[in-house]
Amino acid sequence: MCSKLVIGDRCFIWGQRTYLMGVLNVTPDSFSDGGKFNTTSAALAQARAMVAAGADILDIGGQSTRPGAEQITIAEELERVLPILAAIRSEISVPISVDTTRALVAKASIEAGSDMINDISGGTFDSQMLPTVASLGVPIVLMHIRGTPQTMQQLTDYPDVMAEISRFLTKQIATAKTLGIEENKIIIDPGIGFAKNHEQNLEILRRLHSLKTLNSPILVGASRKSFIGRILNQPDPKARVWGTAAACCAAIFHGADILRVHDVQEMRDVSLVADALFRGQ
């Protein structure tokens, strides 16, 4: 694996410690925090708080990807993301990622100051995404999914979920490289909760290390997700912080490089202790 990546003006050295990507949903309908940060002032305050708590990257998303979420227009997505991105970029130097599946949104976001793209479709929803990212020269997260957020929970039948994830990501990495994205600018995400059932989400965490053969940094997004709620019998996503902590600890043990989280302060403590345990000499 290429051992480092410069995102914005920060150098990420893979394997030495776990990095935290703070989730900033600027949507009215995301599963755990919809409507909380969809004004510029609220989003900016949350961005400041996450950076103060130790976020290494901020991930801004204008389109909810929870199961069953309705697709919004490109104009709506741009209207949600760009003003908030501009406000955050004007005062925060931490790398900013934009969570989008659309090439036009990716291009406008990078031009407005974001540093990387996080595509839950692995570059499959928009045929122009990978060529656009290649032309912009920025890093991209390629995530595994089947179907769309509207249909994905009916598409969880796999003979071997990790083999399927590995096949998909291998193909998308090869396509990205063919289109001109540098290998060291590709980050992979197994897509916990995206066309995966309860048992499959647990299996991904147990077998995460098998994705190391793809030679890309691994991002894991387990934060507050429904499989944790099911284990805890906890319907409120915001009350799943300690369950998320356990999942994050497991992800670090099994090889995660980046954790995408809502509760940055708490997961910073988890990652510091887990790194001392699992990455110590």
**pLDDT digit string, tens, across residues 106-158:** 999 999 999 999 999 999 999 999 999 999 999 999 999 998 888 888 999 99
Statement: residue 41 has pLDDT above 80: yes
Whether 259 is covered by a domain: the verdict is yes
DSSP, collapsed to helix, strand or coil, labels residue 52 as helix
Q: Which of 270, 76, 165 is nearest to 259 (CA)?
A: 270
Between CA 251 and CA 18 the distance in angstroms is 10
According to the model, what pLDDT value does residue 204 have?
Answer: 98
Percent of the chain with pLDDT over 90: 85
Among 89, 225, 240, 268, the one annotated catalytic: 225
Whether 240 is covered by a domain: the verdict is yes
Tokens representing 32 are 């755990």
Whether 5 is covered by a domain: the verdict is no
Whether 6 is covered by a domain: the verdict is no
Query: CB within 8 A of 259, min separation 6: which ones?
Result: 18, 19, 20, 21, 219, 220, 221, 222, 223, 248, 251, 252, 267, 271
Whether 174 is covered by a domain: the verdict is yes
Range of the domain at 127: 18-278
Active site residue 238: no
Whether 232 is covered by a domain: the verdict is yes
Q: What phi and psi values does residue 11 have, to the nearest 5 degrees?
A: -100, 125
Statement: residue 31 has pLDDT above 80: no
Residues pairing with 13 in the sheet: 4
Whether 7 is covered by a domain: the verdict is no
Whether 57 is covered by a domain: the verdict is yes
Active site residue 225: yes
What CATH number does the domain containing 207 carry? Answer: 3.20.20.20
pLDDT tier for residue 29 given thresholds of 50, 70 and 90: low
Q: Give how many domains the chain has, as a whole number.
A: 1
Statement: residue 33 has pLDDT above 60: no
Q: Mean pLDDT across the chain, nearest whole number?
A: 94
Q: Which of 10, 15, 48, 42 is nearest to 26 (CA)?
A: 42
According to the model, what pLDDT value does residue 149 have?
Answer: 86
According to the model, what pLDDT value does residue 30 have?
Answer: 52
pLDDT in tens, 181-239: 999 999 999 999 999 999 999 999 999 999 999 999 999 999 999 999 999 999 999 99
pLDDT tier for residue 69 given thresholds of 50, 70 and 90: confident
Among 89, 107, 185, 260, the one annotated catalytic: 260
Q: What phi and psi values does residue 105 have, to the nearest 5 degrees?
A: -70, -40
According to the model, what pLDDT value does residue 63 have?
Answer: 87
According to the model, what pLDDT value does residue 28 have?
Answer: 74
pLDDT tier for residue 65 given thresholds of 50, 70 and 90: confident
Between CA 22 and CA 33 the distance in angstroms is 13
